[in-house]
Chain A
Amino acid sequence: MPVLEQAFEDTPWPLKAWRALARHIGGLGVAATVVVGLAAVPLLFVIYSSSQLSLSGWQALWSHRLPSLLWNTLSLAVLVAVFSFILGVSSAWLIARRNFVGRKMATWLMILPLAIPTYVFAHIYTILFEEDGWIGSLWLNIFGDHLAIPDLYSIGGVTFILSIAGFSYVFLLVRSALAHSNPSLEEAARIQGLSPFSVFWRVNLPLLRPAIAAGLALVVLHVLSDFGAVSMLRYQTFTLSIYLQMNGRFDYQGAAGLSMVLVLLSFSFLIFERWSRSRQRYYASGTQLRRSKLRNASIFEQCLIWLWLGLITLFAFALPLLWMLDWSFQAWQQDLLDAAFWSYVSNSLIVAAGAATLAIIVAFPVAFFHTRKRSTLSASYIQLSSIGFVLPGPVIALGVLSFILTVLSPLYGGLAALLMALVVRFLPLAVQSQEAALQNLTPSIEQAGRILGAGPLENLRRVVLPMISNGMVVAWVLVFIDAMKELPATLILRPTGFDTLPVRIWIEASEESLELAAPAALMLVLGTLPALWIMMRNEKQVVSKA
């Protein structure tokens, strides 16, 4: 024993600490530590760079920037949350509680907007709202000069774009929660004489709180990290301001200082959201197998329902799609879709599939560690792994770039940097859906496997992974969809001459080449559709997250 202790003392302290940690948390914990360590690279970059910011630098930020940025960002987040709530909850309730013609299709129509990135929405709507655009000219026909065409370059415009781009998250989570909630409660309330609206207000809504909170949290995090729409509409949020600080003034420290504030803001929001959800868990009592019966809607109701859902669809999917089809057709007629165009498509698919695959692999230890060995450490790992959601894309890209150049420089120049940035950005999606899937897996099943003689790896392969495969698929799809649409990190980190669809859309849009931006956007939507289909098939797994 003394010999061993001696050997232990000779080793340098970081190694010693590491070994102690490894013994304490096991192989799984070590793997989780490595993953979280890598995910935290951009955060360390931000902390380091902002620590270089002088006091006067902070004061300058505080007096010139922060107040208006805080106001802009927070008011936008609140507005988008309110509108996403209205759109998402109303459509979810109608589809989950009423039977009407085309109900299945309506479900699809409500999630299709997820296939369109915010910068595509912004680009298309700025064109449609111009005086000679579809909406602009219609507006002039109706109102003439009495009422000016709404200006999209404003908080209202950005709210509109981000709400139609984001309400689907709320819809998905709330609809699932409604579909799986216990109908007896509503029936009891009805029997006691409440009107349908009161039932919704006093029974459904409180029960739906966790689902709504989770959906709105996703929406708000997307607002905080959105780069595409705010940069196209020039609405100064933290993300855009950080980008300008880096790229207009070459001031990394100032940018890092702003990022630091944004990180604190987002983290406190995340922690608050988790905390409020942890206190709000509703358990179904025993006999819950009965599904609630859909009430058939009358003809009049059906008209109203479709009027509302149709209006949402019109703006959130139909108009942008029609625009893309129109201009894509012109591009096709002009023979503009050459080999280069198809290489953008395949590049996008490669990057998104690669990032999604890597993300679900590296997310597994983090999620598994938290479900099996729940501790303060594992919980903080979960929090840390959500760093990708709270840091703006350009900042993640710079952090990863600096890290790869200094630590893994042989890897630089290929896809490694881009893939790492995308994995860091979307790791939270993978971790959360896997964590949700793992929660359904009671430890006793695993123990049974072990008792029957399976080793840890065999147990993992034959028991754990098959049981959470649905969750894995959902995780893969979620990352794939977001990675397909990702713009800011891809712009900075793509290998030279390696253009993806978002990059091309962005370039063509800034050059006002509509006939080239449109087919790229259309391919992006088409490329995302299969992923959405897989997700809907596995939808039950998403539910448990709420």
Chain B
Amino acid sequence: MKRYWQQGLVGLLLASFLAAASAVQAEELVVYSGRKDKFITPLIKKFTEETGVKVVLHTAKSTALLNKLRIEGDRTVADLYISNDAGNLQTGSRLGLFQKIDKDLTKVIPADLRADDDTWVGLSARARVLVVNNNAKDLAFLKSVFDLADPRLKDRLAITHSSNGSFIAGVTVYQLSTSKAVVKDWLQGMKDNVGGKLFSKHSKIVKAVASGKKDVGLVNHYYIYRHLAKYPDAPISILIPDQQDMGMGVAWNVAGIGISKHTKKKALAEKLVAYFLSEQGQRQFAAVNNEYPTRKGVEAAAEVPAAGSYKVADVPMQKLGMHRIETLDLLDVIGMP
């Protein structure tokens, strides 16, 4: 009996060795991806078709994957890391998990949409905007995201819960554009306005505004167009906030990619980055999710307000990582649900 166990154990160990060995093949890239599968697989399929390089997508939450990368250290099998939040990417850079990407590749991307040491680069950008119901009354005063704290919006406002990554990134931008005190009052006001009723997903916010249950919501811009693509007659429109003369502008955030410090396939990894940053790749990013391509000269989808047609908050993306913890602390202090 015992011998069988031993054999079984040895077999198991062998199996796990084999599994480990087979994971490392020549023309194969392992990508830790915190991005939704459906937004990334079309591009990867295309890349594999064109180059013959197989890509293994290991999907989980961005933050959990960053943790994994950190603990694995030089034992990691990841060649690249994709996150939907600049804050995570910059945290990865700070922790020394990435290596420099060739300047020739990154230079097509504006400097404020990548790390200043080129350890990560933005792939697509999204804007924090307001979605309003066209039939809602008394919304003329609404010009800035800070107006969302106005008591006139009591029970009319829809926001996500405060552990949402886009929400956190937005708050960080507002804090850097104004001050902690302003943002603190604003959060408190919103907290009073929503009265504990929060939304778990942005898509549900848009739905609630479209149905008239709520009058205004704070969302990423593409959720509006995703809803309109499904229901073209939905009575909603986009309101681009903070465009007054002294307004801070719209908060942007990017999804981006970094090359693992410990990859043994840097050249291959840069090939994937190059594909993502190519005009073709960038157009695909714009197509799958109505986001803004980060590359200069590639336009977003036609229905999306053109980049450059409105003012964007003057906060370099890498700052999102540097001040993330401050934002979390602030949310904690207020007890933002």
Contacts and interface: CB of A to CB of B under 8 A. Distances in A.
Interface of A: 64, 126, 131, 151, 153, 234, 244, 246-250, 354, 357-358, 361, 398, 401-402, 405, 409-416, 419, 457, 460-461, 465, 491-492, 495-499, 507, 510-513
Given A126-B200, A402-B71, A492-B68, A248 B163 contact: yes
Given A398-B71, A405-B72, A465-B1, A496 B30 contact: yes
Contacts of B37: 507, 511
A354 B332 contact: no
Interface of B: 1-2, 5, 8, 12-13, 15-20, 23-24, 30, 36-38, 56-61, 63-64, 66-68, 70-73, 75, 77-78, 91, 95, 161, 163, 197-198, 200-201, 203, 211, 325, 328, 332
Contact of A234 (B78, B163, B203): B163
A491 B64 contact: yes
Contact of B198 (A153, A249, A419, A495): A153
B163 A247 contact: no
Contacts of A414: 15-20, 23
Given A354-B12, A414-B18, A461-B1, A496 B58 contact: yes
A413 B91 CA distance: 24
Chain B contact residues: helix, strand, loop or mixed: helix
A512 B16 contact: no
Given A153-B200, A249-B328, A491-B64, A497 B71 contact: no
A496 B78 contact: yes
Contacts, number: 107
A367 to B, nearest CB: 16
B84 to A, nearest CB: 12
Contacts of B72: 401, 405, 412
Query: Which of A354, A357, A412, A496 has its CB near the most chain B CB atoms (within 10 A)?
Result: A496
Given A234-B163, A491-B60, A496-B56, A411 B16 contact: yes
Contacts of A415: 12, 15-16, 19
B64 A497 contact: no
14 contacts: A151-B197, A247-B63, A248-B163, A249-B325, A354-B12, A401-B68, A411-B17, A419-B12, A461-B1, A495-B19, A496-B30, A497-B23, A510-B36, A512-B203
A410 B59 CA distance: 24
Nearest to B64: A247
Given A249-B325, A414-B19, A415-B16, A405 B200 contact: no
Contacts of B198: 153
A472 B56 CA distance: 38
Contacts of B61: 247
Contact of A460 (B1, B30, B161): B1
Contacts of B71: 398, 401-402, 405
A248 B2 contact: no
Given A402-B71, A492-B68, A495-B19, 20 more contacts: A153-B200, A249-B328, A250-B95, A401-B72, A405-B73, A411-B16, A411-B20, A412-B20, A413-B19, A413-B24, A414-B16, A416-B16, A461-B1, A491-B60, A491-B64, A496-B30, A496-B56, A497-B30, A497-B56, A513-B38
Contact of B13 (A131, A409, A416, A507): A416
Given A248-B328, A497-B57, A234 B19 contact: no
Nearest to B201: A512
Contacts of A249: 325, 328
Contacts of A402: 71
A477 to B, nearest CB: 19
Nearest to A65: B332
Contacts of B17: 410-411, 414
Contacts of A498: 19
Contact of B2 (A409, A457, A492, A499): A457
In the A-B complex, the 5 residue pairs with the closest CB atoms: A414-B16, A413-B20, A497-B56, A414-B20, A247-B63
Contacts of A246: 67
Nearest to A148: B197
Contacts of A244: 163
A361 B60 contact: no
B75 A412 contact: yes
